[in-house]
Structure 1
């Protein structure tokens, strides 16, 4: 008899997302199908369909997981503006090095543009939510200027997101260290 414990369901979901990442890198965004994802994950197509209606939804969930993981894995050196900016810059660097995120950004512009110009995705909303809380705390300790912390968080997202998107274009001018230094300066000045 098959177990339906929550741990196994989470494990299956993670396997599906890992398989989607593998498919995305091997096949490209446009050639990823639910059948290919299911095959690589070692599950049936209905198992994938129970969680996501189509391959684009799986890819969106994969991106959300990657962005959320980048935030969780970034160094948390306390509270205040300097700590928050350090974390934001670390998240940007991690996402710029994430092959899956870059594959979507550079090879699926129609999908990427949805989250750049049309609407906020789940990962963007999550980042705004967590940054808002940290910005409010930094305002309380006096290290961040006054203003609506949600609006400040949204602007920090735009600044950081544009840095991630355009880093490749300015790489001959701003190497990785210089880009991180300039992003740090920009965010610190904006929030001071």
Structure 2
């Protein structure tokens, strides 16, 4: 979404959800806060749920970029690529779990996320795949990540991480920070090279495709 009007609508929707909750947010509330007519919203969205779904996509993308962008001129990170990847992914999971908008939606109406998880592979997942691909390639080159298809490994990580984000509220008495510690072990074990690959950099071009 690129126009100022679109940003205003999504910003208004976010403010309404945080102030009143998912179930109490209406098109009237969003239109009033955004300074647009209700018909403007109906022309773009079928209902409040579809608008919030669009908002969540933007929120996902924002969190991913904030936790993966490297500042210009930053010194090279000396950590192995596997360590960098795992720590970045877990930091993103923590940010999602602590995000107030995400918490509101998951507590009140988690089915809004259904299109992102079951019906289609959307732009948000593609952003994550692209970010992971770069880090997986780096791990193949420095030997810290086992050899394999970048595409398959990236998709497997995304599917695993989605469950930790969306299903965290179903974890009962288990603290989320304990679950994230387990996620570190899951990802590190999945990516760790096998005995034959240990500390052996992959040759260029050996990890592409499916």
TM-score scaled to structure 1, two decimals?
Answer: 0.80
Whether the 8 Å CA contact 2:97–2:103 is kept in 1: the answer is yes
Name the residue aligned to 2:208: none
Name the residue aligned to 2:61: 68
Count of residues in correspondence between the two structures: 182
Separation in 1, partners of 2:143, 2:112: 39
Separation in 2, partners of 1:137, 1:113: 32
Q: Encode CA deviations 1:53-84: one digit per residue, 9 max, x unaligned.
A: 33334222211111111112226674711111
Separation in 1, partners of 2:145, 2:45: 42
Q: Which piece of structure 1 moves more, 181-190 or 123-132?
A: 123-132
Name the residue aligned to 2:138: 137
Which 5+ residue runs of structure 1 have no aligned equivalent? Answer: 1-5
Separation in 2, partners of 1:112, 1:138: 31
The residue correspondences of 1:9-158 to structure 2 (distance < 5 A) are 9-10=3-4, 12-45=5-38, 48=41, 52-54=44-46, 55-74=48-67, 78=77, 80-158=81-159
Name the residue aligned to 1:3: none
Separation in 2, partners of 1:73, 1:59: 21
Q: Encode CA deviations 1:82-128: one digit per residue, 9 max, x unaligned.
A: 11111110110010111212222232233223323332232122212
Runs of 4 or more, structure 1, over 4 Å off, are 46-50, 75-79
Larger Rg: 2
Residue 184 and residue 73 in structure 1: after superposition, are their counterparts in 2 closer, same or farther (change >3 A)?
same
Name the residue aligned to 2:184: 184
Deviation at 1:18, TM superposition (A): 1.7
Which 5+ residue runs of structure 2 have no aligned equivalent? Answer: 71-76, 193-210
Q: Tell me the C-alpha RMSD between the 2 structures.
A: 2.5
TM-score scaled to structure 2, two decimals?
Answer: 0.74
Deviation at 1:41, TM superposition (A): 1.6
Whether the 8 Å CA contact 2:18–2:104 is kept in 1: the answer is yes
Residue 46 and residue 67 in structure 1: after superposition, are their counterparts in 2 closer, same or farther (change >3 A)?
same
Residue 181 and residue 110 in structure 1: after superposition, are their counterparts in 2 closer, same or farther (change >3 A)?
closer
Higher fraction of helix: 1
